[in-house]
Amino acid sequence: MTEKLKATSKLLEDFNSFVDNRSTIFLVILPEFFPKLLEWHYSLWGKEYQLLSKKDKLHEWSTYSEISRALDSILKKIEQRTLRDGHSFLFFKSFETHVEKYKDKFVDGESNKKFYYVESIVPIFYLTLVESIKASPERHDIWDYYFPSAWKITKENIQKQENYVSRVLLNNFLQWAQSRFWGSTEKDKFDEVLDEVASNLFPSVEPILWAKLLTLLLRPWANNNRMKSLVEQGANFGFVSRIMVGDYESTEQSSKELHNHMESQGNATLDLVLFLFKHEFTKEKLENFISELKTLEYTDESREEARRKEFISIFEKMISLLELKKE
């Protein structure tokens, strides 16, 4: 068995080295390869994690681990190729079918720990997607049609007990977004990729308001000057609202509909934030944010003063929403 495993590992490493030379027709369009690769991925993952806690099987585990890493790499390269070459529809279709089939599967580890399959495969998919989406000729179709709507992060999706994938994607997004904040050396430079992912992965939010609150949550702060930094630096993404299309009889009706639309999206955004980050936005913390903002002073016509007043208004509205939830 060990020799067969080593031979399998060697063959997969060779395939991994030359996968970029394969046509996307072979990689994802023909049904004989990609669905089978995904099945191998699941099977090898299960064997690897079953052996992980067995101290007398570490040598065998290391071989399975090498095979799993090769399959991870092949999966990533196939996703990169299909996104780049414009053949991503069938990739998403096969990948969604596979993940939905095995989303509840786990392996028991030591100390009652459970290793879930989706927590291994979804991060590979997510990180490859956000690294490659900007250059994809299908980027708009991907977000609108190919990316599974049940996986997008909404309050309704997160609340569904069977929708574990959406929760895994939320954790992946937050870790990735935070790394962009912490790793950036140009605080004011527009982050186009974060802007695109943040608005499309969270379809119910108002992008401008969402960006402001994510910046508050994820950006590093110096000397505990959280509100001062927020007001003076602002956000580096989320500058454009969603486009609203409609047939209006007058400019007045159009303006009214736009106002109602923006207010509805704003309320949905605050509701999602209070649901996802209830420990970060308690009434006490929001009141402290407001108190800190009220100590800041800027000239009346300055951009900083406008931001200061806007954040006070946002936090006051969040407190009102919290009070309504108690009733």
Paired tokens of 16: 């991994």
**Is the pLDDT higher at 113 or at 310?**
310
| DSSP-derived secondary structure for 202-254 | STTS-HHHHHHHHHHHHS--STT-HHHHHHHH--SS--SPPP-----SSHHHH
pLDDT at 77: 94
On the question of pLDDT at 81 being above 70, the answer is yes
On the question of pLDDT at 84 being above 70, the answer is yes
Beta bridge partners of 107: 115
Three-class HEC string of 273-321: HHHHCCCCCCHHHHHHHHHHHHCCCCCCCCHHHHHHHHHHHHHHHHHHH
Q: Distance (Å, rounded) from C-alpha 126 to C-alpha 121? A: 9
In total, the chain counts a number of residues equal to 327
Paired tokens of 288: 């402290």
Beta bridge partners of 129: none
Average pLDDT, the chain: 89
On the question of pLDDT at 188 being above 90, the answer is no
Residue 64's H or E segment, with its range, is helix 58-85
Q: Distance (Å, rounded) from C-alpha 132 to C-alpha 118? A: 21
**Is the pLDDT higher at 303 or at 189?**
303
Q: Is residue 321 a contact partner of residue 272, using CB atoms and an 8 Å limit?
A: no
| DSSP-derived secondary structure for 70-103 | HHHHHHHHHHHHHHHHT-HHHHHHHHHHHHHHHT
Q: Is residue 31 a contact partner of residue 90, using CB atoms and an 8 Å limit?
A: no
On the question of pLDDT at 182 being above 60, the answer is yes
Mean pLDDT, range 285-303, rounded to an integer: 96
**Is the pLDDT higher at 27 or at 153?**
153
pLDDT at 236: 92
**Which amino acid is present at 280?**
E
Mean pLDDT, range 274-299, rounded to an integer: 96
Q: Distance (Å, rounded) from C-alpha 72 to C-alpha 121? A: 8
On the question of pLDDT at 245 being above 70, the answer is no
Q: E strands of 37-183, at which residues?
A: 106-108, 114-116
CA-wise closest residue to 165 among 153, 175, 181: 153
